[in-house]
Amino acid sequence: MSLASADVRVSPPPGARPVELAAERYVGFAFAVADLLIETDLDGEILFAAGAFHTRLGEDAASFLGRPLASLFSPLSHSALDVAMALISHTGRISPMQLILADASATPVSVGALLLRAPDRPVRLSVAIGLLPAIPPSTASEAATALGGSVTSSADFLRTTERLLRGGAAADVSLVEVKGWARVREALSAPERRSLEHAIGEAFSNGEGVSSAGQMSEGRFGVVTQKGADISHLVARLEAALQASPAGPHASVENARLPLDSGGMPTAQAARALRYALRRFADGGQEAAAAAGSAGGLEGIIASAEQHTLAMRAALRERRFRLVYQPVVRISDRSVHHFEALLRPIPTPNVPMHNTQEFVTFAEAVGLSEELDWAVLETAIEALHATSGTSVAVNMSGLSMQNKEYRRRLLARLAELRSEGGKLAASRLLIELTETAEIADLHEAASSMEQLRSVGVPVCLDDFGAGAAAFRYLRAFGVDYVKLDGEYVRAACKNRRDRALVASMIEIAKKSGAAVVAEMIETEAEAAVMAELGVAYGQGWLFGRPGNLPGLR
């Protein structure tokens, strides 16, 4: 870019004071290597912006004031940015790193930043962004789709749509499915498949009116558009990409619209319906979403789900599930530290489910997440009473942890366990906070975790790194452990750059006072890499598959 396009003067006017000359030189040198200059507060809110914003992002620099820094970048880069932002208070700078700009071309850029401290003003973050040659995506979150462009992961797409719904945005979600995707994959060679995936990513990147897209599962995509927007052009591009491949005759594209409209329902209930519909679509496609009531919007989903509420409540009351236990070991010597209790539902008439995730999201949709968490907790407590010397981690939803009444009930139950006869079981219980739902009330959730830790129950933040919210939760909550998402474990073993990202995540966790558990470790090579990066605990098939709790009959 030219300095003139940034409206920056590099020659001081006559009579300029030395400090003004220094400032001019600073800006001039910065623009010699950067296209965009930004200053933010420590929360990432943009306070100053200059440079080629209109050329790169289609808006003037002033329009970005007050926005979050993350808004400049593709959702694919948000996890890496969150890692850097979490570390900067300890390091004082962000070393040059590659991110993807939130423009139509998904432009790769170099981003560096420095904390600016002065006695007479608040601490600020100075950020410089410059262009890079295009290279293939390689961070863990980008590798999740292999599609490039603006297609993000299913976890981040779920959170994006939920935030839009809670914010009252006038938007729709389109459920786009490539019918026959399995046959397409079988018919193509690896190079042909990569070419098709790239073409599909380009179709989403160039889709007019598409503000966000996520790959929910293979061949199934969610797309956020303005309310009432026509995406026939996107469907046509996808069909053209398929027809241009050797597998074209095997596939077609279908689309169904789901308005992001609560329809007068409480926002929390609408958000539960949205999660349930998207999970059903991810698991079973258009037919599963339609069976869940999606044709009637979020109200229709709740109405359909509520027909099965009594059956679900009975299933929880009757414990129509079982728990299996997987060991979490110290990587250094492979000794067992504790076991995680994993839910395995038992098929029940009138309860629509095909797997554990569907069981959980259905319970959330009909407002029974607290009852599910309680039933699992009580089952685990019974197992602890029946064994000796074993500790068990129990998953608990963010919906439960931000509920005051649930917290009161939980603390009362723990007090009972600490009484004579139950002390042993209480001392061997851990709580894992799951991210199946966005936590709306961080204050209440933080209070719950603080009180759990105050009575000697350790807390673990599950799926660390799986979505941008994880870093926000780590800043908001005091936890004893964080569980590194398995996608990052695999990514760290594949290339140097992903390993550096994972190393930064582990450093963040340690600086917050939490020990790290790496999940989904399946090989000795993965265990060795995690140990080298300073991870203390591991979980995965290498150390043991889910099964019976030792000593429990």
The answer to whether the CB of 517 falls within 8 A of the CB of 483 is yes
Long-range contacts of 528-532 (CB under 8 A, 24+ apart): 529/489, 529/492, 529/493, 529/499, 530/331, 530/484, 530/489, 530/492, 531/331, 531/332
State the Cα angle at 132 between 130 and 133, rounded to 5°.
160
The answer to whether the CB of 545 falls within 8 A of the CB of 332 is no
Closest CA to 545 of 346, 342, 391, 300: 342
Measured distance between the N- and C-terminal CA atoms of the chain, rounded to whole angstroms: 71
| Highest-scoring range by mean pLDDT, 79-93, 413-427, 458-472, 504-518 | 504-518
- Mean of the pLDDT values across residues 294-305? 85
Does residue 430 surpass a pLDDT of 90?
A: yes
Closest CA to 468 of 446, 441, 435: 435
- Read off the tokens for 21: 């000359």
Cβ burial, residue 411 (10 Å; 0-12/13-18/19+): middle
Residue 134's pLDDT is 44
How far apart are alpha carbons 45 and 42 in whole angstroms?
8
Bridge partners (DSSP) of residue 393 are 340, 430
pLDDT band at 22 (very low <50, low <70, confident <90, very high): very low
pLDDT band at 424 (very low <50, low <70, confident <90, very high): low
How distant, in Å, are the alpha carbons of 322, 336, 467, 497, 524 from that of 159? 29, 34, 8, 26, 34
How distant, in Å, are the alpha carbons of 202, 255, 377, 389 from that of 327? 43, 43, 18, 14
Alpha carbons within 13 angstroms on the beta-carbon side of residue 255 total 19
* φ, ψ at 340 (rounded to 5°): -95, 130
Residue 145's pLDDT is 39
* pTM of the entire predicted model: 0.70
pLDDT band at 467 (very low <50, low <70, confident <90, very high): low
pLDDT band at 535 (very low <50, low <70, confident <90, very high): very high
How far apart are alpha carbons 138 and 108 in whole angstroms?
12
Instruction: Report the phi/psi class of residue 159: left, alpha or beta, with left for phi > 0 and alpha for psi in -120 to 50.
Output: alpha
Does residue 334 surpass a pLDDT of 90?
A: yes
The answer to whether the CB of 468 falls within 8 A of the CB of 435 is no
The answer to whether the CB of 175 falls within 8 A of the CB of 264 is no
Does residue 140 surpass a pLDDT of 50?
A: no
- Domains of the chain in sequence order: 4-131 (3.30.450.20), 140-266 (3.30.70.270), 307-539 (3.20.20.450)
How distant, in Å, are the alpha carbons of 40, 46, 110, 396 from that of 113? 10, 13, 10, 37
- Read off the tokens for 293: 């009531």
Residue 339's pLDDT is 97
**DSSP codes joined into one string, 260-310:** ---TTS-HHHHHHHHHHHHHHHHHHHHHHHHHTTGGGHHHHHHHHHHTTHH
Q: H helices of 77-145, where?
A: 78-91, 140-143
Condensed to tens digits (0 to 9), the pLDDT of residues 36-59 reads 888 998 888 999 888 888 888 888
SS3 sequence, 129-168? EEECCCCCCCCHHHHCCCCCCCEEEHHHHHHHHHHHHHCC
pLDDT band at 100 (very low <50, low <70, confident <90, very high): confident
- Read off the tokens for 83: 């890692």
The answer to whether the CB of 452 falls within 8 A of the CB of 427 is no
Condensed to tens digits (0 to 9), the pLDDT of residues 348-368 reads 887 777 678 888 888 887 888
The answer to whether the CB of 469 falls within 8 A of the CB of 485 is no
How far apart are alpha carbons 247 and 180 in whole angstroms?
10
- Read off the tokens for 504: 């930064």
How far apart are alpha carbons 83 and 468 in whole angstroms?
9
